Amino acid sequence: MHQVTFSEQSKAVFQRLSQEKQLQFMTFLTDFDFQKISPDSRFTRGDKTFYRIRWKRFRIYFERAQENLFVIHYLLPQHAWNDFLFRNHLPFNKKSVENDPRFWQQLEKFQS
């Protein structure tokens, strides 16, 4: 059994998903075995170790806060500009992600 919490950014993206997609996402997280994450999906930013997994056309960036507690920091559409910035260690501003209309347009495009 594990517990998953959401950052403000990931919660905002999650809430914009349809109820059906929200249910699918929560089912994915419930069934996902966080103990068997590939070492290739791990990277460090500052003092945090992030992991990346994929769900449908989204990338989920999270950290292990405790043994069975995982914090989802970012839920980004695959191939989105902000996903590229984050993966390649380029300057990445959480506020710009949430306030950038292109981000929300990209999200809406990937929902279908």
Stated pTM of the model: 0.72
> Mean of the per-residue pLDDT values for the chain?
80
Number of domain units in the chain: 1
The DSSP-derived string for 62-87 is EEEEETTEEEEEEEEETT-HHHHHHH
Which CATH number do you get for residue 69? 3.30.2310.20
pLDDT classification of 11: cutoffs 50, 70, 90: very high
Q: At what angle do helices 101-111 and 8-16 cross, to 10 degrees?
A: 50
Domain of residue 77 covers 3-32+40-111
CA–CA separation, 27 vs 12, rounded Å? 18
Q: Which position has the token pair 């990346």? A: 52
Closest CA to 55 of 71, 32, 82: 32
Using one digit for the tens of pLDDT, what is the confidence trace for 65-105? 888 899 999 888 877 766 666 666 645 555 555 556 666 66
